[in-house]
Amino acid sequence: MGRQGRVTVRIRGAGRPGEVTVEVRGASESFIAYCDGEVRLGEAVLVAASRGDRAVEVYPIDHLRVPPRNPPAEES
């Protein structure tokens, strides 16, 4: 958990898994991956939890970005 991975088979969401590759002990390993929403091929993900039997729960890293504290003012 807490490791970054990359989607190698699109995750369709809603209980329909895909696949991610994660570096573990210096080698790349593949895991069945679940996410609430769709995650496209090639996207970076964060492994949030193990589901057992080489299956993991992941979140797209883009969804975890924190917005800046003082966003730039809009021009009128």
CATH number at 23 reads: 2.40.50.140
Domain that includes residue 37, residue range:
4-64
Q: What is the pLDDT of residue 52?
A: 93
pLDDT at 71 over 80: no
Whether residue 15 is predicted with pLDDT greater than 80 in this model: the reply is yes
**How far apart (Å, rounded) are the C-alpha atoms in residues 12 and 40?**
8
- Could you give the number of structural domains in the chain? 1
Q: Is residue 57 part of a domain?
A: yes
CA distance 12 to 50: 18
pTM: predicted TM-score of the whole model, two decimal places: 0.79
Mean pLDDT of 34-59: 96
Identify whether 8 is part of a domain: yes
**Helix/strand/coil for 15:** coil
Q: What pLDDT sits at residue 1?
A: 79
User: Would residue 17 count as lying in a domain?
Assistant: yes
